[in-house]
């Protein structure tokens, strides 16, 4: 079946560097994507979203890029901080009220 997946399960980044988290999706009909951050013992927290009619969207220290040609989504975090350590999920909205989640990338920030 179609699914959303992340390229790497873990990412280690030096504090102050930029982080890039990648996600591949296979449902070409999807038109809405979300990035969530999940800290230990907490529920997923909304970071940023993007519609398929956009290629890029920026938030505070975060940027999401969408490449529909290769069905690829990425989350860029600028000047990564210790508080950015978490599991990051991309989610894809299908047309039946369901969000499909990838398995997640665990980001560890090194001091």
Q: Which of 11, 25, 66, 102 binds another protein (CB under 8 A)?
A: 102
Residue 92 near residue 50 (C-beta atoms within 8 A) = no
Binding region for another protein (CB under 8 A) out of 36-44, 54-62, 67-75, 77-85: 36-44
Residue 92's Cβ-count burial label (10 Å; 0-12, 13-18, 19+) is buried
Q: Which one of the spans 10-18, 34-42, 57-65, 71-79 is the region binding another protein (CB under 8 A)?
A: 34-42
CB 111 within 8 A of CB 104: no
Binder among 13, 93, 107, 109 for another protein (CB under 8 A): 93
The answer to the question of residue 41 lying near another protein (CB under 8 A) is yes
User: Per CB under 8 A, does 53 bind another protein?
Assistant: no
Backbone angles phi, psi at 79, to 5 degrees: 45, 65
Q: Does 10 bind another protein (CB under 8 A)?
A: no
For residue 76, give the 3-state DSSP assignment.
strand
């Amino acid at each position: 079946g179609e699914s959303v997946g992340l390229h790497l399960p873990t990412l280690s980044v030096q504090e102050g560097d930029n982080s890039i988290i990648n996600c591949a999706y296979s449902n070409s009909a999807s038109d809405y994507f979300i990035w969530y951050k999940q800290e230990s013992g907490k529920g997923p927290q909304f970071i940023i979203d993007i519609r398929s009619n956009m290629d890029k969207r920026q938030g505070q220290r975060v940027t999401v890029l969408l490449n529909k040609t290769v069905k690829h989504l990425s989350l860029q975090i600028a000047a990564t901080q210790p508080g950015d350590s978490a599991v990051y999920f991309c989610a894809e909205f299908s047309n039946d009220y369901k969000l499909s989640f990838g398995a997640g990338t665990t980001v560890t920030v090194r001091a």
